[in-house]
């Protein structure tokens, strides 16, 4: 399956333009591909700083509403269009919906999420622990 990284980056940049970032003034956009369509998200800050939502978290919710399909690729960018890597929390959220095979845009080229979040805890761990 061919991933159009330029289109994914453009969608992330367009989503960044919708960000609500009055406190940090650091708008972020994210876009994912699930094999059929692109989903997007932007960061949404809050006056109570800890309640802000990262673009990847908004993306995950939008993806679930749109189709619920597994994520195949994701790109995240800042206001310059520069590639950003997801924070630890967002890597865990993305892992839930794309697994270790999810390709994450990286300045050196796409990398599997499993390389960025080694030994991740996920749904399989919960299933294994149930008796």
Catalytic residue positions? 56
Kindly give the residue spans of alpha helices, DSSP state H, lying in 50-87: 55-66
Q: Rounded distance, CA 19 to CA 113, Å? A: 24
Q: Rounded distance, CA 30 to CA 63, Å? A: 11
Q: Which residues, including other chains, have CB under 8 Å from residue 72's CB and lie 6 or more apart?
A: 1, 3, 32, 33, 34, 35, 98, 102, 103
Rg (CA), the chain: 14
């Amino acid at each position: 399956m061919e991933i159009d990284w330029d289109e994914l980056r453009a969608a992330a940049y367009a989503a960044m333009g919708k960000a609500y970032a009055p406190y940090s003034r650091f708008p972020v956009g994210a876009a994912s591909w699930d094999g059929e369509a692109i989903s997007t998200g932007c960061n949404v800050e809050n006056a109570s700083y800890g309640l802000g939502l990262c673009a990847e978290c908004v993306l995950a919710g939008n993806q679930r509403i749109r189709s619920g399909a597994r994520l195949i690729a994701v790109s995240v960018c800042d206001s310059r269009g520069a590639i950003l890597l997801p924070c630890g929390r967002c890597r865990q959220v993305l892992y839930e919906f794309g697994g270790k095979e999810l390709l994450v845009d990286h300045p050196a080229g796409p990398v599997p999420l499993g390389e960025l979040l080694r030994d991740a805890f996920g749904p399989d761990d919960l299933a294994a622990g149930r008796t």
